[in-house]
Structure 1
Amino acid sequence: MDEREQSIAAREAVLAATEKRLQARIDSLADLQRRIDANERAAKARDEAHWNSLARLYEAMRPREAAAVFNELELSMLAQIVNRMREQKAATVFGAMEPERVRALTEELARMRANRSAL
């Protein structure tokens, strides 16, 4: 009987040690997840600041000068910039852009906003 109790006590000790190691691992993984989340938030904030800075830069330009650049920019990049511009500023630039380019940009902005609202 004593031998059996000792065996059970030993198993309980091993189980307790295993539980302690598992809990330490869970805590470590939770901390890692918090750090990853914080890094993602910081990266998104930096990205947003970058796009906002570009939007302000183009808002400060003359509409014809901005339009000349916008006519050549990659559409997805252009949509990110225009999406952050004030409507009045964007409208004056649109007026100086090639009509086909404005149409394509409008479609891209609509797609981008639809995708964002679907999330």
Structure 2
Amino acid sequence: QYLQQMQKDIEKKLQELIAVQKEIQAYRDEKAAGRNASIKSLAQIYGSMKPKEAAKLFENMDEKLVVSVISTMKSEEAAPILSAMDAKKAAKISEALTRR
């Protein structure tokens, strides 16, 4: 009797944990979708700028963010920006792009 009750309690707790895990995953998915939309928006903005202007901004931004934005851009938009950047920074960005 006691063991059966314990087993029911454990199964109930397990179901609660599974439900919480699903909620967490849904939150993560929602957050990732929002980030992806923001990255896509930034890619469109920087892609419409003059390459030298975008390059100046990219040189002062977080490298991971720059990689995310450039990887979302069309290559014909990204290439002129990379070529307008400081050579060392552009090389770091290019290396990071290959690791994606």
Length, aligned pairs only: 100
Q: 1:78 aligns with which of 66, 82, 85?
A: 66
**Structure 2 equivalent of residue 62 of structure 1:** 50
Higher relative contact order (CA 8 A, sep 6+): 2
Task: State the superposition RMSD in angstroms.
Answer: 1.6
Q: Measure, in 2, the Cα distance between the counterparts of 1:79 and 1:36.
A: 27
The higher radius of gyration belongs to 1
Stretches of structure 1 lacking an aligned partner (at least 5 in a row): 1-12, 114-119
Identity of aligned residues (%): 27
User: After TM superposition, what 4+ stretches of structure 1 lie above 4 angstroms from structure 2?
Assistant: none
Deviations 1:11-38 (A, max 9, x none): xx22222222222111111111111111
2:95 to 85, 93, 107: 107
Q: Give the TM-score normalised by structure 1.
A: 0.73
Amino acid at match of 2:89: R
Q: How big is the shift at 1:58?
A: 0.4
Task: Indicate how the Cα distance of structure 1 residues 20 and 74 shifts in structure 2: closer, same or farther if over 3 A, else same.
Answer: closer
Residues 1:15 and 1:71: Cα distance change in structure 2 (over 3 Å): closer
State TM-score, norm by structure 2.
0.84
**5+ residue gaps, structure 2:** none
